[in-house]
Amino acid sequence: MIVEGTHVFAGRPEAVWDLLLDPTVIAKAMPGTRELVREGPDRYRGRMQISIGPITAAEFALQITLADLEPPRRFVMHVDGTGRFGFTRGAAEVTLAPEGEGTAMGYRADLQVGGKIAGVGQRLLDMVSRAMLRSGLDALGAELSARLAEDR
C-alpha cells in the first residue's frame, strides 16, 4: 500500500526536523502508540495498539529505524511492527523544504500488512491508514505550534 502526500507546517525546517526525531512527538503522531523509547541516535522501540474492523485492541511491538539522514532536508523511516494478529512493515521517505514562512513536508510510504489483520480488506486498511495519517499530521502541527509559542 502506497501512502503519499504533502503537508505544510508553520515553522522552519530545523524546527520541524527536531520535532520529527523526538520520540515523545513521534508517539503522539502515531495513533495508538503506548510507548516509544529512543534506543540510539537513529533507533526507537515501542508498543502500539490499534483497532481495524473486527480486530480490536491489536497490540504490536514496534521498531523504528532512521536512515539516509540529511538534516534538515530528508530521511527515511523504516517501521516494523509485529503482534499476534499479524505484522506491518514499510519505509517512508520524508522530505522538508522551506515554503514561505513555513515548511513543506513531503512523504511517500510503502507499507505491507500481513496476517489476520490483512484479512479485513484493502479498502478498510486504506481508510484506517489515511485516518491515522490525518490524525498524526494534526498532532504534529499542534505540537509544533505549542513549541513555537513557548519560544516566543
Q: What pLDDT is recorded for position 108?
A: 92
Mean pLDDT of 71-100: 93
The helix or strand, by DSSP H or E, that contains position 127, with its residue range, turns out to be helix 122-151
Distance from C-alpha of 121 to C-alpha of 61, rounded to nearest angstrom: 22
Return the pLDDT at 80: 94
Q: Report d(CA 8, CA 113) in Å as an integer.
A: 28
User: What pTM did the predictor assign?
Assistant: 0.83
DSSP 52: E
> Closest Cα partner for 120 from 129, 132, 108?
129
- Lookup: cell for 40: 540510539
pLDDT exceeds 70 at position 66: yes
pLDDT at residue number 127: 75
